[in-house]
Chain A
């Protein structure tokens, strides 16, 4: 079956409507902090049964990739990530908004998402089976090596690098151990509080560190010191030619990187966005702009998280294995409508498979049409004086933190993270590496312990495969490079 046949299935009015509902709910889910795509998909699961296999799956897939589009909006406007994969967009997007370039950042984000989504679907169609097999070559030892490289690469995320960044990553890794132990099921560091058993919510910590931290920081500044957001003229709402020229290569790099990371189990969209930011920072000709509003820092990560969301569908569609919570909900949706994903999925349900693929092309166009005209409306939010805007942002941080697990404990975590975020800013610690540690922690711990069990305690298992060896060689090369390039990396500053 070709692309045209896939589009033919997706373009029936019934499937088009399902796709529209999916991408609309997905966009709203992404914009609202706390409510991730997994929760939104779970809420609409009963509707999937009524819609039937093809339309039902088209709608669920729409919510999934639609959320990646919307997630950047609040990151750019008010420094509160709509969903975990958009945390990194806060770093440059919010700075751009403060300079009066919110419209450009939002438009580049939507364009990047479109480019990545569309290219990702082409890659999905072409390489799904071989890539799924390659992803399976990664065992626990290889994953551990991968996380080690990841931690080293991402430690220099904000450019401050140094031991402080490693310290923040390690702190994030420590915080990730709070709650249920991933292998043995033992509650750790919870002080016998049942609500802490689920662990520290990523959304609560991210909203606290970035959103509440920013509110407290602004409140601590004398009013005359707060720089007013530059006035936005109509022509400033969209990116300039120069910005597009700079953003395009970042979009393509982010797409490729994100798609490959999407094949890895775990929160691949979040990791992809962090990795892409790091890549953009190291390859950019405008390094000095990073941290002050670099358009590449929005284009790359936003493309990467969308591409990763498409890449993450490969193990599901080809092997029937869900690699993330949202994909697991998609899997349960498939099972609910009587579709079993895996090697036989294409043969047994060609309409559903190609319908979903075709709808993803259409859905990406719908998302672009939905998002671009909204840029002006969203951008106008940045002109609201902070004394009115910040209390509302705080309310949405609270609601978002609560709605993540329907748990008031998470709101307390958010408040504590907010105070930590304020103090970190005051004492010049970068909060982004802490979030990397929080994301990587469970994967790192699980793979470390699983590898030791598989190797019966023999440490040689960590360097037994060529993949692991290559990863460690890369990690070593990176450390040497960092030391040679920036000798002060191991110093305090």
Chain B
């Protein structure tokens, strides 16, 4: 339940952020509504709904069942794996401006394969090479989409 409340608070936080930020913009009047009106109204709705959900959850006050607790504990490995995949992805996206789109993508697919359990490096490299070559031929060569270039391609 703490996690449920946490997720609601995050959403309420997003609403609050939009509400405060939208006040920087012009509210206008009823005759000429400004650019702040719509986001402000929706942000208030988000906060109100999140508040209601929070109230319902606290009122319900359910205790987490032991089986759920056990399951959550067992899944720590999974969460770690997700965090590694996201960090890896973010790192390689950041490195795209130095290495170029396709070189970075090749490294990303290769390492992703390994993280997802592909045992042999040759298999991971093979999958990455095939996928990047396919993407290059379709998008860059045939459809002429221009990708960021770096040290390589």
CB of B37 within 8 A of CB of A449, answer: yes
7 tightest CB-CB pairs across the interface, nearest first?
Answer: A220-B78, A457-B30, A391-B112, A457-B31, A181-B35, A387-B116, A445-B38
**When chains A and B are docked, how far (Å) is the Cα of A399 from the Cα of B79?**
26
Q: Assuming the A-B contacts A167-B11, A415-B93, are A174 and B42 also in contact, with contact meaning beta carbons closer than 8 angstroms in the complex?
A: yes
Residue from B42, B52, B78, B89 in contact with A170 in the complex, judged by beta carbons closer than 8 Å: B42
Cβ-closest chain B residue relative to A446: B38
Tell whether A222 is near chain B: CB-to-CB under 8 Å: yes
Where the two chains meet, the residues of A that have a C-beta atom closer than 8 Å to any C-beta of B are 32, 35, 43, 163-164, 166-167, 170-171, 173-174, 177, 181, 183-184, 186, 188-189, 215-216, 219-223, 386-388, 390-392, 394-396, 398-399, 402-403, 406, 408, 411-412, 415, 418-419, 422-423, 427, 429, 444-445, 448-449, 452-453, 456-457, 459, 491-492
**When chains A and B are docked, how far (Å) is the Cα of A386 from the Cα of B117?**
10
Instruction: Report B-chain residues with C-beta under 8 Å of the C-beta of A402.
Output: 101, 145, 147
**When chains A and B are docked, how far (Å) is the Cα of A381 from the Cα of B56?**
44
**When chains A and B are docked, how far (Å) is the Cα of A55 from the Cα of B132?**
35
Instruction: Report A-chain residues with C-beta under 8 Å of the C-beta of B123.
Output: 388
Best-buried of B34, B38, B77 by chain A (most CB within 10 Å)? B38
**When chains A and B are docked, how far (Å) is the Cα of A396 from the Cα of B132?**
9
CB of B33 within 8 A of CB of A392, answer: no
Q: Assuming the A-B contacts A184-B34, A391-B116, are A411 and B93 also in contact, with contact meaning beta carbons closer than 8 angstroms in the complex?
A: yes
Instruction: Report B-chain residues with C-beta under 8 Å of the C-beta of A189.
Output: 18, 21-22, 39
Cβ-closest chain B residue relative to A217: B82
**When chains A and B are docked, how far (Å) is the Cα of A449 from the Cα of B148?**
39
Could you mark each residue 22-43 of chain B with 1 if its beta carbon is under 8 Å from any beta carbon of chain A, else 0? 1001100111111101110011
Interface range on chain B: under 10, 10 to 19, 20 to 34, or 35 or more?
35 or more
Q: Assuming the A-B contacts A392-B127, A403-B139, A423-B7, are A219 and B108 also in contact, with contact meaning beta carbons closer than 8 angstroms in the complex?
A: no
Residue from B15, B74, B138 in contact with A32 in the complex, judged by beta carbons closer than 8 Å: B138
Measured between C-beta atoms, what is the minimum distance from B28 to chain A in Å? Answer: 9
CB of B49 within 8 A of CB of A174, answer: no
Q: Assuming the A-B contacts A43-B143, A427-B7, A449-B33, are A491 and B56 also in contact, with contact meaning beta carbons closer than 8 angstroms in the complex?
A: yes
CB of A170 within 8 A of CB of B127, answer: no
CB of B35 within 8 A of CB of A166, answer: no
CB of A394 within 8 A of CB of B112, answer: yes
Q: Assuming the A-B contacts A392-B109, A403-B139, A492-B53, are A223 and B117 also in contact, with contact meaning beta carbons closer than 8 angstroms in the complex?
A: yes
CB of A163 within 8 A of CB of B39, answer: no
CB of A427 within 8 A of CB of B3, answer: yes
Could you mark each residue 44-63 of chain B with 1 if its beta carbon is under 8 Å from any beta carbon of chain A, else 0? 01100110110011001000
CB of A394 within 8 A of CB of B53, answer: no
Q: Assuming the A-B contacts A181-B35, A399-B135, A457-B30, are A216 and B52 also in contact, with contact meaning beta carbons closer than 8 angstroms in the complex?
A: no
Best-buried of A220, A223, A396, A418 by chain B (most CB within 10 Å)? A220
CB of A398 within 8 A of CB of B105, answer: yes
**When chains A and B are docked, how far (Å) is the Cα of A471 from the Cα of B109?**
49
CB of A391 within 8 A of CB of B29, answer: no
Tell whether B153 is near chain A: CB-to-CB under 8 Å: no
Measured between C-beta atoms, what is the minimum distance from B65 to chain A in Å? Answer: 15
